[in-house]
Amino acid sequence: MPASLTATRHPTSRRPIPLLPFAILAAIALPYAANAYALGFATTIVITAIGVVGFNVLTGWTGLVSLGYAGFFAVGAYTQGVLATRYGWPLLATLPAAAIVAALVSVLVGAPSLRLRGLYLAITTLAFSAIISHVILLAKPLTGGSRGFSVARPSVLGIPLRSDAAIFWLCAASLIFAVWLASNILRSYLGRAFFAVRDAETAARVLGVDVIRAKLLAFALSSAITGFAGALFALNQRYLNVENFELLLSIEAVSILIVGGVGSIPGVIAGTVFMVLLPECARLAFNAIGGSLADLAGAQEIRGVMYGLVIILFLRFAPGGLIDFWHSGRAWLRRWPCTG
């Protein structure tokens, strides 16, 4: 990866600000304070954040550039949908199954790609996403082919998850768990091994890091979290179609990392909020200019253009992402009013 995209340092041993109680309270209160439209956006943000937390393990921490995010997301979504709808599996079984299947598939992709880096690895993972799309189309009895199929909302311990609020709470709890899990892995030996492979693979190997094992674990862990997010997407969407998992989904994940700050978990959250709300903010802005432009802002093609422009602007003017603005602002406040 370019040097500007790998500038995130490994976290220090300083204790983080205890934000967990505030996050839990906000998650509990939001469905009561927001309307259905706003709650739908919040659920989309949470699901996307979970997926990109996983994507960050592979690309942000280990430095393996991947465009296979959409493929692993689709594997998790269709595993959830098929097991729940076709075979009647309970939710407490389908969600772990989606993560496990995505992790196993990632090992099949990662093992032949261990010696690849940069553009070659990106093309390989992109080809994997294309293969997954074709498999979905060919496995028509299970996936519904190009027409897709409906996913029923299940129940947990006898409690039905049919309301939008229940789905949001499930997704919010999953995000809190994913962030907690990723934060603990980041401070472990495995997390340090990921960063060592990213920053200096040869030096890491000399110092005793099993580079092949670290890369495979990065693939598996990243894909498991992404597949879990895909399963939540299937629950929230209630209808799966191969068109939901196009290349733009992978581009969105890459743009979130760049905008938020590559390698940073808080940056992933900030970048997700920014990028998910960007098309809606553009739609509102176009609506204020002219009604016909509002529909244009929500089109897939225009979203792709916006993501591309944002990536270019951040790489040129703010390669550290939003998390760098946060750290710079905190440093400025500590020096104020003695700032030069």
What predicted TM-score, i.e. pTM, was given to this entire model? 0.89
Bigger pLDDT: 241 vs 331: 241
Percent of the chain with pLDDT over 90: 49
pLDDT of residue 23: 78
Residue 60, token pair as written in the block: 């942000």
Please check whether residue 230 is in contact with residue 74, taking contact to mean a CB–CB distance below 8 angstroms.
Answer: yes
Q: What angle do CA 80, 81, 87 make, to 5 degrees?
A: 90
Q: Annotate 71-100 with DSSP letters as a single string.
A: HHHHHHHHHHHHHHHTS---HHHHHHHHHH
pLDDT of residue 2: 44
Q: What angle do CA 334, 339, 340 make, to 5 degrees?
A: 155
Contacts of 3 (CB under 8 A, 6+ apart): none
Per residue in 137-192, pLDDT (tens digit) is 999 999 989 899 999 777 777 677 778 898 999 999 999 999 999 999 998 999 99
Beta strands in the chain (DSSP E): 149-150, 155-156, 159-160, 239-240
pLDDT of residue 14: 46
| pLDDT mean across residues, the chain | 85
Any idea which of 130-139, 240-249, 305-314 has the lowest mean pLDDT?
Answer: 305-314
Per residue in 112-123, pLDDT (tens digit) is 877 777 788 889
Matching residue, tokens 């269709």: 78
Contacts of 94 (CB under 8 A, 6+ apart): 79, 80, 83, 84, 154, 231
**CA–CA gap between residue 36 and residue 152 (Å, rounded):** 20
pLDDT of residue 134: 94
pLDDT of residue 88: 86
Per residue in 259-282, pLDDT (tens digit) is 999 989 999 999 999 999 888 887
pLDDT of residue 6: 45
pLDDT of residue 155: 72
DSSP 8-state code for residue 5:
G
Domain chopping of the chain, boundaries: 3-8+18-247
Bigger pLDDT: 72 vs 324: 72
Is pLDDT of 73 > 70? yes
pLDDT of residue 219: 94
Phi, psi angles (nearest 5°) of residue 11: -60, 145
pLDDT of residue 12: 46
Tell me the mean pLDDT in the region 103-118.
85
Any idea which of 167-171, 211-215, 254-258, 290-294 has the lowest mean pLDDT?
Answer: 290-294
Is pLDDT of 47 > 80? yes
pLDDT of residue 230: 97
Is pLDDT of 296 > 70? no
**CA–CA gap between residue 70 and residue 61 (Å, rounded):** 19
Residue 78, token pair as written in the block: 């269709």
Is pLDDT of 340 > 70? no
Residue 98, token pair as written in the block: 């989606």
Phi, psi angles (nearest 5°) of residue 262: -60, 125
